[in-house]
Structure 1
Amino acid sequence: MAATLLPTSQANTAGLPLPDIYARVSRHVPAIEWPALADDVAAILELKKARNAVILAHNYQAPEIFHTVADIVGDSLALAREAVTVDADVIVLAGVHFMAETAKLLNPGKTVLIPDLGAGCSLADSITAADVRGLREKYPGVPIVTYVNTSAAVKAESDLCCTSGNAVDVVRSLGVPRVLMIPDEFLAQNVQALVPEVEILTWAGHCEVHELFTPADIHAVRESYPGVTVIAHPECPPEVVAESDFSGSTAMMMNFVTEKRPRQVVLVTECSMGDNIAAANPDIEFIKPCNLCPHMKRMSLKNIRHALETLTHEVTVEPDLADRARLAVERMLAVRPR
């Protein structure tokens, strides 16, 4: 299933009065808190017009960002694809740093901002460009597929990128018997189960959100909610994915819920995913557990507003490195589902 964006009607708030915007998040934002948020929302909408700016928001962003000021929402693959077509002078990335770098790689002539420089990623921190060069020496001739949850420097040392939404198609597109898939060990192991004809070599990197889930969590939920549908992100350990009813990227998870419409569902991923889908599907009951990503939660309406007011913090990539990293991303974008 291809990654998709939410319909524009759910993402674009241009021209809507504030009460209508609040209706989108009323299940998650108490009415007493809305006046303080509404001031920032109104300011951001005006600043976007003045700056000719757009806001790209990842699916893990809180509902008050995702459903009020974002212009484009989606998973890493969707944001990467849509970033290429953005008609704006300024891009604000409500996500983490590697996503802003990817947006800059694909839009070298635009100003790309990230509201908080501390919005990092445990996966991106788990590997360096020197590590990738070491892998090339150890495994000469083996293609290196790098998860987009990495720095531009790591992408520049790779053959092509992948996301959780297209990893299987990327691996198969190479037509080789052996690949290196870095840095997410669990994603690589889950892809291996789907592509047994290819030997996938891994790196011991993990997402600090998804690595915490265990099969015991799934068993406990099933005991408490008989018949519940369990959907897991492929960054979870393979034994967690094996206990689930479906596994896929955040876009795939959204599509599954909206198409299958289970009565009760558990999303084994970052907490805001459930909140954002629930806001658009009030008839579906979302059961937790979930884990919060501390990096994604560094985004707020206030620092998005500040970013637009001051044009900070600008994300830049050194030109030569950018050219090589961009090639890896473009090769990924050229891969289409089989």
Structure 2
Amino acid sequence: MTVLDRADAVDNGLVARITDGPGGYTGVNGDEEWAAEIRRLATLRNATILAHNYQLPAIQDVADHVGDSLALSRIAAEAAEETIVFCGVHFMAETAKILSPEKTVLIPDQRAGCSLADSITAEELQAWKDEHPGAVVVSYVNTTAAVKALTDICCTSSNAVEVVASIPADREVLFCPDQFLGAHVRRMTGRTNLHVWAGECHVHAGINGDELADQARSHPDAELFVHPECGCATSALYLAGEGAYPADRVKILSTGGMLDAAKASHAKQVLVATEVGMLHQLRRAAPGIDFQAVNDRASCKYMKMITPAALLRCLVDGADEVDVDPETARLARASVQRMIEIGQPGGGE
């Protein structure tokens, strides 16, 4: 990692404003002065800044690349810069380190966890595997490195159906950790020997079917973009199946899939069921469409811990570095590579 003289970053007084509180680092606004300083420091540190689609708009706007976690990790592996600053949650930075073991990977606040990744531990997965000897483990990419290391094949929300369909029909499958994505895969594949772990993303699980139905009734001409992690995904398909909403306007999509669909859509309005940070990229991709959140409270507190102050601190101090044990990384890398061999995932989650 390039050593940065702290004096290089304190001449404008921004660093002195950083404070640390219960919700993370604050005290700095994501304005033009801040953005210019971030770009200057990134150049001095020989760093590339990656931002997930759920990040704050200011973070997305200053980043070199914005996207889903797996796509960003693959960009990190190909980047010329020696330092990767991953503006996302911790498992995402881990995945970047797994695919780029020789690079320095930083996360602006190491406390930015993930309720979905935390919903299964390596110990729990091993115990589940022991109950089903011979089963194939398929883990969502939204998991820790330790869980990936015990996994046969990783998947994303955009290729989970394809990954499971590639497994011989007579093999049991253990799918973890997201129960809603698992239910979607089971529904699409018709597989009866697919066991699903009862984990969830607290944000997506909180977008419920009643909210979706109410919004759909209030906006009868809108398209629906629904993330498969959402608790309302089944309700969306039910609305379409019962004829309560036109089936061609109900789309179950990953974050990457939402961006592709937005660019191709002729709708005047789209209701979006996912974390609200996604609206920023959708509005940039298709400025002529009115994108509205199904639940405007669906904001991930962990994603939002990557504040302007946190990113500034990270670039000044080289904090917080993410590392993965080499053997864990080797095993985890194999499960990710198997997924990529089955199909090039366009959207990570």
TM range (shorter): 0.7 to 0.9
Task: State the aligned residue count.
Answer: 304
Determine which of 237, 244, 260 is the counterpart of 1:255: 260
Contact 1:58/1:94, CA 8 A, preserved across alignment: yes
Alpha-carbon separation, structure 1, partners of 2:77 and 2:182: 27
Task: Tell me the equivalent position of 1:281.
Answer: 286
Give how far 1:165 is off: 1.6
- The equivalent of 1:267 in structure 2 is 272
**8 Å CA contact retained: 1:144, 1:181:** yes
Name the residue aligned to 1:217.
Answer: 211
Q: Does 1:234 align with 2:228?
A: yes
Match for 2:116 among 115, 118, 123? 123
Given candidates 108, 111, 114, the residue that maps to 2:107 is 114
Displacement, 1:132?
A: 1.1
Q: Which moved more, 1:259-268 or 1:172-181?
A: 172-181
Offset at residue 254 of structure 1 (A) = 1.1
Q: Answer yes or no: is the 8 Å Cα contact 2:263–2:285 preserved in 1.
A: no
With the length of structure 2 as denominator, give the TM-score of the two structures.
Answer: 0.83
- Structure 1 residues 1-338: aligned runs within 5 Å: 37-67=31-61, 69-177=62-170, 178-197=172-191, 199-237=193-231, 238-242=233-237, 243=239, 245-290=250-295, 291-336=298-343
Which amino acid in the other structure matches residue 163 of structure 2?
A: V
Q: Which residue of 2 aligns with 1:10?
A: none
Return the alpha-carbon distance in structure 2 between the equivalents of residues 118 and 35 of structure 1.
20
The 3 A distance-change label for structure 1 pair 138 and 220 is same
Q: CA 1:217–1:327 in 2, change beyond 3 Å: closer, same or farther?
A: same
Structure 1 residue 226, shift from structure 2 partner: 2.0
Cα 1:337/1:322, change in 2 over 3 Å: closer
1:56-101 CA-partner distances (Å, limit 9, x unpaired) = 111111221112x211211123223323212211001111000000
RMSD of aligned alpha carbons: 1.8
| Equivalent residue letter for 2:283 | A
Contact 1:169 1:337 in 2 (8 A): no
Q: Which structure 2 segments of 5+ residues have no match?
A: 1-27, 241-249
Distance in 2, Cα, partners of 1:240 & 1:73: 30
Change (3 A) 1:150 1:110: same
Is the 8 Å Cα contact of residues 104 and 321 (structure 2) preserved in structure 1?
yes
Stretches of structure 1 that go unaligned for 5 or more consecutive residues are: 1-33
Residue 117 of structure 1, CA deviation: 1.2
The change in CA–CA distance for 1:93 and 1:294 in structure 2 (over 3 A counts) is same
Equivalent position SS for 1:122: coil
Structure 1 Cα separation of the partners of residues 120 and 274 of structure 2: 22
- Shift of the 294–36 alpha-carbon distance from structure 1 to 2, 3 Å rule, reads closer
Q: Which moved more, 1:292-301 or 1:231-240?
A: 231-240
1:15-45 Cα deviation digits (max 9, x unpaired): xxxxxxxxxxxxxxxxxxx986112100111
- Partner of 1:84, secondary structure, is helix
Cα distance in 2 for residues equivalent to 1:337 and 1:155: 18
Q: Is the 8 A contact 1:58 1:76 kept in 2?
A: yes
Aligned 8 A contact 1:179 1:198 in 2: no
- Determine what percentage of the aligned residue pairs are the same residue: 42
Q: Distance in 2 between matches of 1:47 and 1:79?
A: 20
Matching residue of 1:8 = none
The answer to whether the 8 Å contact 2:29/2:309 transfers is no
Secondary structure of 2:92's counterpart equals helix
1:129 deviates by 0.7
Q: CA deviation at 1:293?
A: 0.8
Q: Residue 108 of structure 2 aligns to a residue in which SS?
A: coil
Query: What is the identity, as a one-letter code, of the residue corresponding to 1:185?
Result: Q
